[in-house]
């Protein structure tokens, strides 16, 4: 499947960057079959038409509301000092079906600025590579205190490294409810949120605040994992629940 990103409704428009990729990089020819997704669960199939520099689609089929991954996973993670590490996390988490990514500024977060638009483009690329028709949502960098205001505390967990505090084993968590075949929209009950701290972990104050809100702490094993590794570990854990 040669999958590209674009608009499906009200009319099919192939993204301008994708058009350039089709003509200048892939050097595809008129009449070749491709697929176009809008990242919202809709998919169009057709053959290429070249109108000067513009690339359009001769549509043969449109599929709407294709199934999404379930259960859904939202990871809130502190950006790492080395941006390559967080980009690696984003790519692998997308491939393993993550539904939403938030970046949080904690007391010990060293990197204060990230290019959200660059990461969103990376999400599109990784989604196409793994043939996803529902692209993950990427939220702006947010202060930890602000992020805490809109959490579903019952289905939120934090992975921290403080061995002196009670932590439950990740594999003992109750599996979130799955969406049924009719209702593919996210529901509170089938979405689970994990908070992953920065290099140096969450501060004692932040961990205490999380505990006061009833957010349970989880252990990811006996080894101390890097920030991006912890995020990928949780994504892989959830990926296993999808099948």
pLDDT tens, residue by residue, 50-96: 999 999 999 999 999 999 998 899 999 999 999 999 999 999 999 99
Q: Which of 221, 223, 229 shows the shortest CA–CA distance to 197?
A: 229
CA–CA distance, 218 with 211 (Å, rounded to integer): 12
Checking if the pLDDT of 229 tops 50, the result is yes
Residue 89, pLDDT score: 98
Q: What is the DSSP string of 73-118?
A: EEEEEPPPSSHHHHHHHHHHHHHTT--EEEEEE-TT-------HHH
Residue 183, pLDDT score: 40
Average pLDDT over residues 135-160: 94
Residue 202, pLDDT score: 95
Fold (topology level) of 72-241: Alpha/beta knot (3.40.1280)
For 214, the 3-state DSSP assignment is: coil
For 15, the 3-state DSSP assignment is: coil
Cβ pair 162, 207 in contact under 8 A = yes
Q: Which of 142, 147, 145, 81 shows the shortest CA–CA distance to 116?
A: 142
Task: Please name the helix (run of DSSP H) or strand (run of DSSP E) that holds residue 56, with its range, or none.
Answer: strand 54-63
| DSSP collapsed to 3 states, 120-159 | HHHHHHHHHHCCCCECCEEEEEEEHHHHHHHCCHHHEEEE
**Total number of residues shown for the chain:** 243
Residues of the chain within CATH 3.40.1280.10 domain(s) are 72-241
* CATH number for the domain whose boundaries are 3-63: 2.40.240.20
Tokens matching residue 154: 């019952």
Instruction: State the pLDDT confidence band at 188, using cuts at 50, 70 and 90.
Output: very low
Whole-prediction pTM: 0.90
Computed over every residue of the chain, the mean pLDDT equals 92
CA–CA distance, 137 with 124 (Å, rounded to integer): 10
Instruction: State the pLDDT confidence band at 161, using cuts at 50, 70 and 90.
Output: confident
Residue 184, pLDDT score: 44
Phi, psi of 83 (to 5 degrees): -65, -25
Number of neighbours of residue 74 by Cβ within 10 angstroms: 23
Instruction: State the pLDDT confidence band at 189, using cuts at 50, 70 and 90.
Output: low
Instruction: State the pLDDT confidence band at 182, using cuts at 50, 70 and 90.
Output: very low
Token pair 């690329």 is found at 125
Average pLDDT over residues 187-192: 67
Pairing of strands 54-63, 43-51: antiparallel
Residues of the chain within CATH 2.40.240.20 domain(s) are 3-63
* 95-121 residue pLDDT tens: 999 999 999 999 999 999 999 999 999
């Amino acid at each position: 499947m040669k999958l590209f990103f674009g608009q499906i409704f009200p009319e099919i428009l192939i993204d301008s960057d994708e058009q350039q990729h089709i003509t200048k990089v892939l050097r595809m020819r008129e009449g070749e079959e491709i697929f176009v997704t809008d990242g919202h669960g809709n998919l169009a199939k057709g053959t290429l038409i070249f109108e000067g520099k513009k690339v359009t689609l001769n549509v043969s089929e449109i599929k709407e509301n294709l199934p999404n991954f379930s259960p859904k996973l939202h990871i809130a993670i502190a950006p790492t000092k080395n941006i390559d590490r967080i980009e690696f996390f984003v790519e692998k988490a997308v491939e393993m079906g993550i539904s939403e990514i938030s970046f949080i500024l904690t007391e010990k977060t060293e990197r204060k600025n990230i290019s959200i638009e660059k990461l969103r483009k990376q999400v599109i690329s990784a989604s196409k590579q793994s043939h996803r028709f529902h692209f993950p949502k990427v939220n702006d960098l947010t202060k930890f205190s602000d992020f805490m205001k809109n959490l579903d505390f019952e289905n939120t967990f934090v992975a921290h490294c403080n061995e002196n505090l009670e932590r439950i084993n990740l594999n003992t968590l109750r599996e979130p409810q799955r969406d049924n075949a009719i209702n593919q929209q996210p529901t509170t009950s089938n979405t689970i949120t994990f908070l992953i701290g920065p290099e140096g972990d969450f501060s004692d104050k932040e961990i205490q605040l999380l505990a006061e809100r009833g957010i349970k702490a989880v252990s990811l094993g006996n080894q101390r994992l890097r920030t991006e590794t912890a995020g990928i570990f949780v994504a892989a854990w959830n990926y296993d629940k999808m099948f």
